[in-house]
Amino acid sequence: MPERRATATASPNIAFIKYWGNRDPALRLPANASLSMTLSNLQTNTTVLFDDRLEADQIEIDGSPASDKAASRVTKHLDLIRTLSGNPTFANIHSLSNFPAGAGIASSASAFAALTAAASKAAGLELDKKQLSILARRGSGSAARSIFGGFVQLFSGEVNTDGYAEQLAPAEHWHLVNLIAVVTKEHKSIGSSEGHMLAPTSSIQAIRVQDTARRLEICKKAIMQKDFQTLAQIVELDSNLMHSVMMTSDPPILYLEPESISVMKHVTRWREDGLAVCYTIDAGPNVHCICSLEDSPEVERQLRSIDGILDIYRCSPGNGVALAVTNEQSPQ
Ligand code: DP6
């Protein structure tokens, strides 16, 4: 087989209605449906080159050889693609993100969305977005959503083929701003994959999962009607519910740092004072401050006055995964 190469770019997403826990860990079928906004400005760019001369996958992430843990996750994902394409060739993978991994800015979402699109294209598979979403989910649950841009829903799915995401509204629908208050750039100690396994040990998880359809409907309606106040309340409730599950699992997981709590308290006060802003936090301490475009300069100014914020990333609704280079054959 000749060398086959493709490059894809994908962005992370922030979940407004979050999933936590998998009903089927092997297939990464989430315990509950979720809803997210794909983020502009933050990106992972991944090139995959299948090469007959390789005796194993060679994986470089952010300029260094991948750790054993990351490499085995990538290889496992490539194995799915090798099985689908019927070709066992190993690959050279280069992945570069412009934001820190593992700090609650869904790096696995952009990484596996980009990897899925690039590897399937390089392997000669012609997959539509639904198929890409199903396949990306096998690598990382939230990656299923990063296949699409704008506002996106991921169905929980009973079987592999119905665990996919679809777009609810394009990025242009509502110009929200996500100001990510970065309080640490360190890799979290407990990754989402381990956290998902612990979710069922919390007595709150079943109640959270059972009530998800209601929260998701409220959130969806708020997005379609551009109703910020309703969005703010449901987004904060959903984030607090997920962190309650994390904190009450066995062993407990506490992702929040003192600075995270400080930002949360400021955000709710600013909203009481009339600013259109709310918070949501993924599996890490960094706080995503969702705000209206009009109020975003003031929110950013106020965020800068809080101690312990190392950086602020500004994102808007962004685009789904895109292939930068279609199948090309390298010179022999
Ligand atoms: C808290 O998709 O990161 O961000 O499949 O193990 O990669 P893996 O999990 P991941 O879990 C996402 C958890 C979350 C909530 C969400 O994005 O819905």
For 109, the 3-state DSSP assignment is helix
pLDDT of residue 196: 97
Taken in order 182, 184, 186, 191, the sign of the CA dihedral is negative
Per-residue confidence in pLDDT tens, the chain, 332 aa: 455 999 999 999 999 999 999 999 999 999 999 999 999 999 999 999 999 999 999 999 999 999 999 999 999 999 999 999 999 999 999 999 998 765 557 679 999 999 999 999 999 999 999 999 999 999 999 999 999 999 999 999 999 999 999 999 999 999 999 999 999 877 667 888 899 999 999 999 999 999 999 999 999 999 999 999 999 999 999 999 999 999 999 999 999 999 999 999 999 999 999 999 999 999 999 999 999 999 999 999 999 999 999 999 999 999 999 998 554 444 33
**pLDDT one-digit tens code per residue, 28-48:** 999 999 999 999 999 999 999
Ligand 1 lined by 34 (C-beta under 6 Å): yes
CATH for 1-332, options being 3.30.230.10, 3.20.20.100, 3.40.190.10, 3.40.630.10 = 3.30.230.10
Closest CA to ligand 1's atom 6: 193
8 Å CB contact between 204 and 241: yes
> How would you label 43-53 residue by residue, b for 16+ Cβ within 10 Å and e otherwise?
bbbbbbbbbee
**pLDDT one-digit tens code per residue, 303-328:** 999 999 999 999 999 999 999 855 44
Q: Which residues contact 236 (CB under 8 A, 6 or more apart)?
A: 268, 278, 279, 280
CA-191 nearest atom, ligand 1 = 6
Residue for token digits 């109020």?
295
Ligand 1 lined by 81 (C-beta under 6 Å): no
What spatial distance separates the first Cα and last Cα of the chain, rounded to whole Å?
Answer: 11
Ligand 1 lined by 137 (C-beta under 6 Å): no
Name the residue among 332, 331, 330, 277 with its Cα closest to residue 303: 277
Residue 229 Cα to ligand 1 midpoint, Å, equals 25
8 Å CB contact between 315 and 180: yes
Closest CA to ligand 1's atom 5: 140
